[in-house]
Structure 1
Amino acid sequence: MPNMTAKLLCSALAVTFATEAAATEWNVSVWGSRRAFTEHIHKLADLVAEKTGGEFTMNISYGGLSKNTENLDGISIGAFEMAQFCAGYHPDKNRAITVLELPFLGVNTLEEEVAVSHAVYDHPAVAEEMAQWNAKMLMTSPMPQYNLVGTGEPRDELAEFDGMRVRATGGLGEAFRAVGGVPTSVTSSEAYQAMESGVVDTVAFAQHAHLSFGTINTATWWTANLNPGTVNCPVVVNIDAYESLTDAEREALDSSIDEAIAFYLENYGELLKQWDTVLAEKNVQKVMIADEELARFQDIAGKPIHDEWITSMSAQGLPAQELYELVVGTLKTARASN
């Protein structure tokens, strides 16, 4: 009988160890604090855990694993399994997706941003470039058009952008440079301090970031309709980690993306509805740029920068014209379906 008991105990322990070994736990590197920009990651984690009965879980870390500008590097060496980054932080590492950060692409809604982003992410040139960093594109983090906050007298004419020190990355930075601005790429976490200390005159962010990083708290005005473009921030996974998943785990992850994005869109939509209330509460003036000023800005910083990007990226061996036309075509299709 003792021998039988020992055998049963060993069998039970073996099952326990096998169960523990089968569990998959991913570390996810993001930054700042939990906000509208990261809600789809939390939703994805919830869905995956639910679909796998808790056998596949994600630990989401806000700055504890890596700096935001080094998340792609962390993915490349397998320091963590999933991460979020923004293309403008290191455009030389993710050249193909910088097409999505070109100014004045004409993307008007978050749904359109999702459509064009995922179309570009699915392009072979993007997959090939990301594979150099052992990264696989998973989903976008769609953001509305960026707008400026600043202090003092509102800058509502292009002439007032001349010499303006602006926190803006990627194509947005180039747009402001084209009209005489002086872009700086301080990280989002540093933007408030840069604005408060006078290192920058203005900060270009989407609404959630002006809230999350506090720039709205020191601002006296906000441009409601400048809308020069946005930043593209993918969520990627380490290829080795992705391929190591079981079929059931991979299916749970892949099948949860659309629902996670839908949750993000609904949540961000609520924030946008409340934005005017936020401005009123913080006594921030809503500035409308005149149509003729917007048209001038687009003429200077739109097509010329697009053409320059196509020429530059083509010279580097990327199918730049194809990627650009993919964005334009996807945008047309998305609007037609609406």
Structure 2
Amino acid sequence: MSKIAAKLLCTAIACTFVTEAAATEWNVSVWGKRRAFTEHIHKLADLVSEKTGGEFTMNISYGGLSKNRENLDGISIGAFEMAQFCAGYHADKNRAITVLELPFLGVANLDEEVAVSHAIYAHPAVADEMAQWNAKMLMTSPMPQYNLVGTGEPRDELAEFDGMRVRATGGLGKAFSAVGGVPTSVTSSEAYQAMESGVVDTVAFAQHAHLSFGTINQAAWWTANLNPGTVNCPVVVNIDAYESLSDAEREALDSSVPEAIDYYLSNYGALLQRWDEVLAEKNVTKVMISDEELAKFKDVAGKPIHDAWIAEMSAQGLPAQELYDLVFKTLEDTRAN
């Protein structure tokens, strides 16, 4: 009997080892804290686990695996399997997708932001560039148009942007620079301290980030309709890890992206509906920029920056005009449908 019991025990242990070996566990690197900007990643993890009966799980780490500016590097060496990053943090590493950060593209809502982002992500030039970092685009993290919160007197005329110290990255930084602003690209996690210490006068963020990183608590005013553009923050996966998935696991991951994005949009929409209440609670003045001043901003920071981007990226061998045209073709198709 003791021999039979021993054999059964060994079999049970062996089965346990097989089960553990068969399970897939991914580490996911993000930053800050859980917020509207990361809800689609949590939803994706839930869906994948559900579809695979718990055999494919994701551990989402907020800053424990990497700094936000180093997430793409971490993906490239396989330090973790999935990560989120923003194009403006290292524009030289992800040149093709910076077309999505050009100011005044005219993207009107989050649905359009999803459409243009995923169209650009699917372009071969983007896939080739990301492959250099062993990264595959999975989904976007759509954000509404950025707007400023600021200290001191409200700035509602373009002339008042001259000398304004602003936290803004990528194309937004170039836009403010074009009208005399002084952009700095401190990370989102550093923005509150930069504002509190007076390193910057203003911070350009989407609404969720003003809440999550506390800049709204330093603000005296907020521009409701400046809408100069937004940043683009994809979620990527390590190519080797993706290709190592079983067919069922890969299907579970890929098929969960649309539902994760839908959940994100619903959750973010609820936040936007509460925004006016937030401003009132924190005694932040809503500033409306006149149509005349907005037109001046677009004239200086719109097409001239677009043309410069096309010329610069074309000189580097990218199909810049093709990528640029794809943005507007996608917007046209999305609105038609």
Shared fold per TM-score greater than 0.5: yes
User: CA shift at 1:108, angstroms?
Assistant: 0.7
Equivalent-residue separation in structure 2 for 1:322 and 1:120 (angstroms): 10
Alpha-carbon deviations, 1:212-252, whole Å to 9, x = none?
00000010000000000000000000111111111111111
Matched residue SS, 1:93? coil
Equivalent-residue separation in structure 1 for 2:327 and 2:63 (angstroms): 32
Letter in 2 for 1:93: K
Residue 138 of structure 1 is matched in structure 2 by: 138
Residue 104 (structure 1) aligned with residue 132 (structure 2): no
Residue 124 (structure 1) aligned with residue 134 (structure 2): no
User: CA shift at 1:74, angstroms?
Assistant: 0.5
Letter in 1 for 2:316: Q
Residue 84 of structure 1 is matched in structure 2 by: 84
Count of paired positions: 337
Residue 75 of structure 2 is matched in structure 1 by: 75
Alpha-carbon deviations, 1:168-225, whole Å to 9, x = none?
0000000001111111000000001101111011000000000000000010000000
Residue 35 of structure 2 is matched in structure 1 by: 35
Letter in 2 for 1:328: F
User: CA shift at 1:119, angstroms?
Assistant: 0.3
User: CA shift at 1:15, angstroms?
Assistant: 1.6
Residue 310 of structure 1 is matched in structure 2 by: 310
Which ranges of structure 2 fall in alignment gaps of 5 or more residues?
Answer: none
Residue 240 of structure 1 is matched in structure 2 by: 240
1:171-320 matched pairs, under 5 angstroms: 171-320=171-320
Residue 16 of structure 2 is matched in structure 1 by: 16
Letter in 1 for 2:175: A
Equivalent-residue separation in structure 1 for 2:14 and 2:204 (angstroms): 56
Residue 94 of structure 2 is matched in structure 1 by: 94
Residue 147 of structure 2 is matched in structure 1 by: 147
User: CA shift at 1:325, angstroms?
Assistant: 0.5
User: CA shift at 1:23, angstroms?
Assistant: 0.7
Equivalent-residue separation in structure 1 for 2:14 and 2:247 (angstroms): 23
Residue 159 of structure 2 is matched in structure 1 by: 159
Letter in 2 for 1:180: G
Letter in 2 for 1:318: L
TM-score scaled to structure 2, two decimals?
Answer: 0.99
User: CA shift at 1:4, angstroms?
Assistant: 3.8
Letter in 1 for 2:211: L
Alpha-carbon deviations, 1:78-106, whole Å to 9, x = none?
11110000000000000000000000000
Letter in 2 for 1:123: H
Letter in 2 for 1:329: K
Residue 59 of structure 1 is matched in structure 2 by: 59
Superposition RMSD in Å: 0.8
Equivalent-residue separation in structure 2 for 1:114 and 1:225 (angstroms): 21
Letter in 1 for 2:96: A
Q: Percent identity?
A: 86
Matched residue SS, 2:25? strand
Residue 321 (structure 1) aligned with residue 330 (structure 2): no
Residue 25 (structure 1) aligned with residue 28 (structure 2): no
User: CA shift at 1:152, angstroms?
Assistant: 1.1
Letter in 2 for 1:155: R
Matched residue SS, 2:61? strand
Letter in 1 for 2:301: A
Equivalent-residue separation in structure 2 for 1:2 and 1:66 (angstroms): 51
Equivalent-residue separation in structure 2 for 1:162 and 1:311 (angstroms): 27
Residue 170 (structure 1) aligned with residue 170 (structure 2): yes
Equivalent-residue separation in structure 1 for 2:25 and 2:316 (angstroms): 38
User: CA shift at 1:11, angstroms?
Assistant: 2.4
Letter in 2 for 1:16: T
User: CA shift at 1:13, angstroms?
Assistant: 2.1
Matched residue SS, 1:311? helix
Equivalent-residue separation in structure 2 for 1:70 and 1:225 (angstroms): 33
User: CA shift at 1:10, angstroms?
Assistant: 2.6
Alpha-carbon deviations, 1:17-51, whole Å to 9, x = none?
11110011111000000000000000000001111
User: CA shift at 1:12, angstroms?
Assistant: 2.3
